[in-house]
Amino acid sequence: MENTDLQERLFIAIDFPQDFIAELVAIQQQLQKLKLFEGKFIASEQIHLTLQFIGSVDEDFKQIIQNALRLIRYQSFEVCLGKLGILPNERYIRIIWVDCVAEALQELVRHIETALKSFMVLEDRKFLSHITLARVKQVHNKKKLMQALSNIQVPHVCCMVTDFVLKKSILTNKGPIYYNIEHYSLTKI
């Protein structure tokens, strides 16, 4: 039996600059004022875009992952905010998110998958480029919430993605806490 005490729960993500995050927080504040659902808004310092979930690994396997990620060569690119959405569907809303628009995101995810799949099994899930804004526990009025989401104007804000990050997630009773383990630079355009 594995000793899970020595394992870390890892994922690969993109962090954003403060001005980009400020726009996301403004959208969260609009949603909060509506009072159409019970749930938890993601704290600004925890906002990120997950590229690949890895799961729980020991220190040796973490080193193998880090070595593989260090070999990735990809150029920096611009990403922009898109539309608001929900997961998994309108009948059962659990996440409110905003889309990240950049063709290069799919290609970066492919590079990461290629680097990792030679030594680990990855989730068989299509990449959905999104930033979680809120985790929903209960919706008071689904029709009003869906209408409100379609009415909120997401600003056309963009930023340069110059690196990606291997992160560790520690689950607590107040929600997950994320720590950066290592940054991987993308080359300048």
| 2, part of any domain | no
Mean pLDDT of the chain: 93
Measured CA to CA, the distance from residue 107 to residue 179 in angstroms comes to: 25
What pLDDT shows up at residue 77?
97
Query: Per-residue confidence at 1, pLDDT binned at 50, 70, 90?
Result: very low
Whole-Å CA distances, 125 to 51, 53, 128, 160: 11, 10, 9, 26
36-63: per-residue pLDDT in tens? 999 999 999 999 999 999 999 999 999 9
- Could you identify the residue written with the tokens 């260090």? 70
H/E/C letters for each residue in 61-91?
A: HHHHHHHHHHCCCCECEEEEEEEEEEEEECC
In a domain, 166, yes or no: yes
Containing structural domain, residue 81:
8-176
- In this prediction, residue 189 carries a pLDDT of 58
Render the burial of 73-112: b for 16+ CB within 10 Å, e for the rest: ebeebebebbebebeeeeeebebbbbebebeebeebbebb
Catalytic residues: 48, 130
Query: How many domains does the chain fold into?
Result: 1
Find out whether 51 and 108 touch, Cβ atoms under 8 Å. Answer: yes
Residue 103 falls inside a structural domain:
yes
What's the pLDDT tens digit per position in 149-170?
A: 999 999 999 999 999 999 999 9
Is residue 188 in a domain?
no
Residue 3 covered by a domain: no
pLDDT in tens, 167-189: 999 988 888 899 999 999 998 75
**Is position 53 within any domain?**
yes
pLDDT tens digits along 75-122: 999 999 999 999 999 999 999 999 999 999 999 999 999 999 988 877
User: Residue 101: its pLDDT value, please?
Assistant: 95
Read off the CATH number of the domain in which 145 is found. Answer: 3.90.1140.10
- Give the predicted TM-score (pTM) of the model: 0.91
